Amino acid sequence: MTTRSQGIVVAGMHRSGTSALSGALSRLGIALGDSLVPAAGDNPKGYFEHAGVVAVHEQLFRELGRWWYDPRELPAGWLESPAARRAEEALVSLLRADFSGAALWAVKDPRTCRFLPLWRRVLARLAVPVSVLVVMRPPGEVAASLAARNGFGPELGELLWLRHVLDAVRGSAGMPRTVIVYEDIVREPVAAIDAALQRVGLQAPVPAAERASALAGFVEASYQHHASAAPAGATPVAGLAQRVYEAGRALARGQGRWEEFDALDAEFQAQWRAVGPFVQAMGDAVFPDLEARARLAEEIHAARSELAAQVRWGKEMLAQREAMSEQQQALNAALAHQRDQLEAALSNARSDLAAQVRWAEQTLEQHREVVAEAHRQSAADRERIADLQARLQLAEQRISRLLASFSWRATAPLRALGRALGRRPAAATPNPPEKDQ
């Protein structure tokens, strides 16, 4: 493992919100490994459990003669058993293989609550600093969820809740740790997760400004089923479980102390001494049958969940189609309105164009009439000009004759006077012009 690597162990009872927290951590940039348990009907968004870690835990349970739903203590000296040694080596190999290059990683499996002493030995060998996030959900809600999925009675569910939570608190003593409650995760995921990480000195890799969008649509209050399903204090076990939960919620809100769990754990041990021998005596006979019933109940629950998921999907598809139909109707109405507007605009444009054509035709006709009148006026003017030119020519001719006549008559006396004075007469003039006829 790299010297800068840091780890997170997500611990909490089954059905307590460990999947929601681990999935949120993944979206915030914290590595969970590539081999995860696939989603199922009871957890449609995924379990976010490392499949290899779950397999190691399940094998260890079987070799110790226990099951995950077994509230009995683990056998005395189990940590030094060959089964625990094999599990230790397997976990060391898994963590080295999957997280050696990760700066910040997390492992989640509710079974880890029972095996934290083994995990402390594994982490010591890897020399990796690890913090523990203990997830708590009201025990009545967890018991109701287990009853729906596995067919467990509420007493067994609450007893399992106490065993897992108190084992996790005891097993994480001395480690960097904090409590985060499920109701805070579903209501204000960013604030709850940021606060929990800060309490153990960590920070999500995704920038603060992007965390809300990273978790949008993933953690939702609608997935919090079985809320307040069982009244607190209905039995001594239920009352103790509720008080343990209240102590954990106070820690999550920065108001409690870890030392408060010591007295609660001692009370649980006292209750267990009263009922433990009976559970131990029946365990070997009851739990194998309970295993078969639990498996069957899980399969039935998974089938129901899958069917419910398909029904939800069908309803969503129907709603989407109805929404699309409404959108299509609205679009058709909008298109029809636009078509009417375009047709009205086209009609107006046609009317305007027809009016403009009529105006242009009238203008052209007027222009033609003006041009024709101009042509007629021009022809008349040419005729008048030709007549004036003819008259001018006649006038010029008359003037020329008058001038010629005037010139002959004016020079005759001068010629007579010249002859009288004995001068040589001027050159003969041409014959006098003829009188005007």
Q: What is the DSSP string of 291-360?
A: HHHHHHHHHHHHHHHHHHHHHHHHHHHHHHHHHHHHHHHHHHHHHHHHHHHHHHHHHHHHHHHHHHHHHH
Phi first, then psi: give them for residue 266, nearest 5 degrees.
Answer: -65, -40
Residue span of the structural domain in which 282 resides: 6-328
339 in any annotated domain: no
In this predicted structure, what is the pLDDT of residue 286? 63
pLDDT in tens, 261-305: 999 999 999 989 887 777 776 666 666 666 666 566 556 655 665
In this predicted structure, what is the pLDDT of residue 58? 94
Report residue 64 CA to chain centroid gap: 47
CB 195 within 8 A of CB 185: no
137 in any annotated domain: yes
410 in any annotated domain: no
Q: Is the dihedral of CA 310, 316, 317, 322 positive or negative?
A: positive
CB 164 within 8 A of CB 195: no
Q: How far is CA 248 from CA 181, 194, 390, in A?
A: 8, 18, 133
Tokens 């995860």: give the residue. Answer: 36
424 in any annotated domain: no
342 in any annotated domain: no
10 in any annotated domain: yes
In this predicted structure, what is the pLDDT of residue 295? 61
In this predicted structure, what is the pLDDT of residue 1? 67
In this predicted structure, what is the pLDDT of residue 423? 53
CB 241 within 8 A of CB 16: no
Burial class (CB in 10 A: 0-12, 13-18, 19+), 347: exposed
Burial class (CB in 10 A: 0-12, 13-18, 19+), 77: exposed
> Which residue numbers in the chain have pLDDT < 70?
1-3, 40-43, 220-233, 281-306, 308-309, 406-418, 422-437
Phi first, then psi: give them for residue 172, nearest 5 degrees.
Answer: -100, 5
In this predicted structure, what is the pLDDT of residue 226? 52
Q: How far is CA 34 from CA 48, 112, 243, 274, in A?
A: 10, 19, 38, 44
- What single string gives the DSSP state of each residue in 69-132? T--SPPPTTGGGSHHHHHHHHHHHHHHHHHHTT-SEEEEE-GGGGGGHHHHHHHHHHHT--EEE
Cα–Cα distance for residue pair 116/303, rounded to 1 Å:
33
Nearest to 37 by CA among 51, 58, 55: 51
Q: Which helix (H) or strand (E) holds 178?
A: strand 177-181
In this predicted structure, what is the pLDDT of residue 437? 42
In this predicted structure, what is the pLDDT of residue 301? 52
**Domain count across the chain:** 1
In this predicted structure, what is the pLDDT of residue 284? 65
In this predicted structure, what is the pLDDT of residue 368? 87
Phi-psi region of 134 (alpha: psi -120 to 50; beta: other; left: phi over 0): beta
Nearest to 181 by CA among 232, 229, 247: 247
Cα–Cα distance for residue pair 27/108, rounded to 1 Å:
15
Cα–Cα distance for residue pair 380/397, rounded to 1 Å:
26
155 in any annotated domain: yes
Question: What is the model's pTM?
Answer: 0.66
Q: Which helix (H) or strand (E) holds 362?
A: helix 260-420
Cα–Cα distance for residue pair 134/312, rounded to 1 Å:
32
CATH of the domain at 33: 3.40.50
Q: DSSP 3-state assignment of 135?
A: strand
Cα–Cα distance for residue pair 14/164, rounded to 1 Å:
9
368 in any annotated domain: no
